Amino acid sequence: MILFPAIDLKDGQCVRLKLGDMDQATVFNDDPAAQAKSFEDQGFEYLHVVDLNGAFAGESVNGAAVEAILKTVKFPVQLGGGIRTLAHIEAWLDRGLSRVILGTVAVRDPDLVREAARKWPGQVAVGTDAKGGMVAVEGWAETSELSIIELAKRFEGAGVAAIIYTDIDRDGILAGINWPSTLELARSTSIPVIASGGLASMADIERMVQPEYQILEGAISGRALYDGRIDSREALAMLKAAA
């Protein structure tokens, strides 16, 4: 079970959004590379990064910040937001990224995702961001007619490394992970599932170590880590002890 600290990039800064609204952004650090190094020093083993501007623009916007992170830390980094072509994927993997996260393109062009997963095994994840159980695209600005389980089934057996499921209705408001929906998704697919959106407190970490939650690959935490609601060292020790 992996606890992924999150760095969401907006205009070159580390921010957290409330309910996916770009106009409700709280800046936590104006030096993303320093923030990434802090997470590495705390003992985290994997970093989750999102280019928020890129998710809306459909191309990399915070590339300089991501490259600075990659040059600063040694632990693996996964990136989502605006990665929508094979050329984008290849360029980021060549720069040292461990895993790309494909969101909008997974809905718009599933064949591209399958091709990428074949070409770069273990390095392509699908980002499933949902409002009311339906997949959202274009930086969460639009909602599709596809359910999270239907999207997961598209990529069964395709070699996708993970599905990252974010409940937008809980993201950034410390309401707690939507555990029932997350577990339902994990049980419906053989692809590893990572929970995201709303991890709020040590109570969520305590839940993660229970046997029924071991079906998940891990969970992503943002605001609760920045606010100190989750003690990183205590959380990592709990997860390690349960492994």
**Residues with catalytic function:** 8, 129
Please give the Cα distance from 48 to 102 (Å, whole number): 13
Please give the Cα distance from 70 to 235 (Å, whole number): 25
What crossing angle do the helices spanning 86-94 and 110-119 adopt, rounded to 10°?
A: 30
Give me 94's structure tokens.
């060549």
- Any bridge partners for residue 228, and if so which? none
Query: What distance, in Å, lies between the first and last C-alpha atoms of the chain?
Result: 7
DSSP 8-state class, residue 97 = -
Query: 163 vs 133, 191, 204, 233, CA distance in Å?
Result: 15, 7, 20, 26
